[in-house]
Amino acid sequence: MRVLITGAGGQLGRDLVEAFADAAVHPADVVAIEHGHLDVGDEVAVGEAVAAYRPEVVVNAGAWTDVDGCEADPARAHRVNALGPWWLARACARRGARLITVSTDYVFSGVAPVDGAGQPRAWTEFDAVAPLNAYGRSKAAGEQLVRQTLAEHHIVRTAWVSGARGRNFVTTMLRLAGERGQVAVVDDQFGSPTCTRDLAAAIVELAASERYGTWNRTNTGWCSWYDLAAAVFELAGVEVELTAQPSSALDRPAPRPGWSVLDPTHAEAAGLRRLPHWRDGLARLLTELAG
């Protein structure tokens, strides 16, 4: 399988390169291109890259992930996060390649849907999107453009992503604990923490699948950001004063969804593997960070 990875310098992109190598894809068949060498928002450059490398599968890990930055510059967010996947889908359609592009829980409103008993339930792949902010709108538009352009696509919705080679919630918690000895974390937003190693392995699995579509792919289980912070400090053996605070205490330009739990039922019914529990993924991530 010949694979082209875009946005390969990000935390997920780096682990994707290793995951395809672990899957015994010959190194010469994995082309990893970082942002500096390919801007997915540049239609001509995207077309040329796909024509030059002739991949069977393109994996797009490139995105503008600065949520507050996107709020300030929605045109740039749309160019990268919506047009980028579209240009890739169009290039794949011309060259007979498949596309895997990564999306987000931020396509949803954050107001939990309820089950028959009136209890909150996780978002399925078939719930209506209703993004709260410019980042979510740009990602939802990217999904729609890919679906209408290329049948042979996988859209991978994930959430709360952390890897060893990126700036993320886990590395931020460890840094703040070291700098301040006390941390306040919101306890009214819920999601499924996901480590890039497990997400990359799930994407490798999809790369071999011809059952195309949209998939929820997060680590199993869910918690609040406060719970996640507590687990980081517990598993890392870090002493810190941890306090809970409401989201309203944070004055951020872009609103964040309160409920980001993604339901894996459809993906698992379609034969995809269940990802490990988030605490297991977190423990392995912390070991990697300590190594």
Ligand X SMILES: NC(=O)c1ccc[n+]([C@@H]2O[C@H](COP(=O)([O-])OP(=O)(O)OC[C@H]3O[C@@H](n4cnc5c(N)ncnc54)[C@H](OP(=O)(O)O)[C@@H]3O)[C@@H](O)[C@H]2O)c1
Residue 49 Cβ, how far from ligand X at the closest point, in Å? Answer: 11
Q: Does 12 bind ligand X (CB under 6 A)?
A: yes
Residue 226 bears catalytic tag:
no
Q: For the CB of residue 195, give the shortest distance to ligand X in the complex, in Å.
A: 11
Q: Which residue in the shown chain puts its C-beta closest to ligand X? A: 10
Q: Which of 109, 158, 192, 219 binds ligand X (CB under 6 A)?
A: 158
Phi, psi of 47 (to 5 degrees): -60, -40
Interface residue with ligand X, options 5, 6, 174, 204 (CB under 6 A): 6
Q: How would you classify the pairing of strands 190-191 and 223-224?
A: antiparallel
Segment holding 223, helix H or strand E = strand 223-224
SS3 state at 216? strand
Picking from 193, 188, 186, 257, the residue whose alpha carbon sits closest to that of residue 221 is: 193
Site for ligand X in 48-77 (CB under 6 A): 61-65
Which residue has tokens 């423990």?
A: 283
159 interacts with ligand X by CB under 6 A:
yes
9 is an interface residue for ligand X by CB under 6 A: yes
Q: How far is the CB of 108 from ligand X (least distance, A)?
A: 11
Containing H/E element for 60? strand 57-60
Round to whole Å and give the CA distance between 213 and 156: 9
Nearest residue (CB) to ligand X, 50 versus 61: 61
How many chain residues bind ligand X (CB under 6 A)? 27
Instruction: Give the shortest CB-6-to-ligand X separation in angstroms.
Output: 6
The answer to whether the CB of 189 falls within 8 A of the CB of 258 is yes
Residue 157 forms beta bridges with which residues?
103, 216
- The residues annotated with a catalytic role in the active site are 135
User: Binding residues for ligand X, per CB under 6 A?
Assistant: 6-7, 9-13, 35, 38-41, 61-65, 80, 84, 102, 104, 139, 158-161, 166
